[in-house]
Amino acid sequence: MIHVFFFFFFFDIGLNHLPVVEKKVITPTGCEFTGVSFKGKICGVSIMRAGEAMEQGLRECCRSVRIGKILIQRDEETAQPKLYYAKLPPGIENRYVLLLDPMLATGGSAIKAIEVLLSYGVKEDKILFLNLIAAPEGIQAVTSKFSQLKIITSFIDQGLDEKKFIIPGLGDFGKFVF
């Protein structure tokens, strides 16, 4: 249950980057309270497999959130990403998208996923890329190509090794989750 709490906390931070509008509600005690509500709709898109580990945390924060999936795998010889599958919610072009992948190494998979979202009509400034560990090289690659999206991460690691893995890193995150 600890991992769910961490993701809940992490998504709370990510959701704070979305625009809000003032909203008045009547509390159970009958008092009026002025709070905020998201301006627009959101959805999560996980980069399979490892990004799926972040879905439950997002659902805990936003119970009725729609989830899309993109399968991109990195060729271990060339370190280049290849798109295998994309299933995105209808109307995604009208939503803020939380792109989920726990690790950002070279940035290749993230860039490919962002290109897929853009091809579906999602505006770049409506994409928030959430990950847990990032390499400086990946951050540079993504932000140099997409300057309007936000990257939200927990930690920036040292860098990449000769095989393009994050060091010290965690290894293959998907192997730990599934």
Render pLDDT for 72-100 as a digit per residue (tens, 0 to 9).
Answer: 987 777 767 889 999 999 999 999 999 99
Query: What is each CA distance from 38 to 19, 76, 123, 147, 172, in whole angstroms?
Result: 6, 40, 17, 23, 34
* Residues across the chain: 178
- Rounded to two decimals, the pTM is 0.80
**For the chain, what percent of residues have pLDDT higher than 90?**
48
pLDDT score at 88: 97
State the pairing for strand pair 66-74/20-26. Answer: unpaired
Contact 84, 109 (CB under 8 A): no
Amino acid at residue number 87: K
Domains of the chain and any CATH numbers: 40-177 (3.40.50.2020)
Examine the pLDDT at 112 and tell me if it is beyond 50. Answer: yes
Distance CA 88, CA 124 (A): 16
Average pLDDT score over the chain = 84
The C-alpha atoms of residue 53 and residue 33 are separated, in whole angstroms, by 35
- pLDDT (tens digit per residue) in 118-156: 999 999 999 999 998 999 999 999 999 999 999 999 889
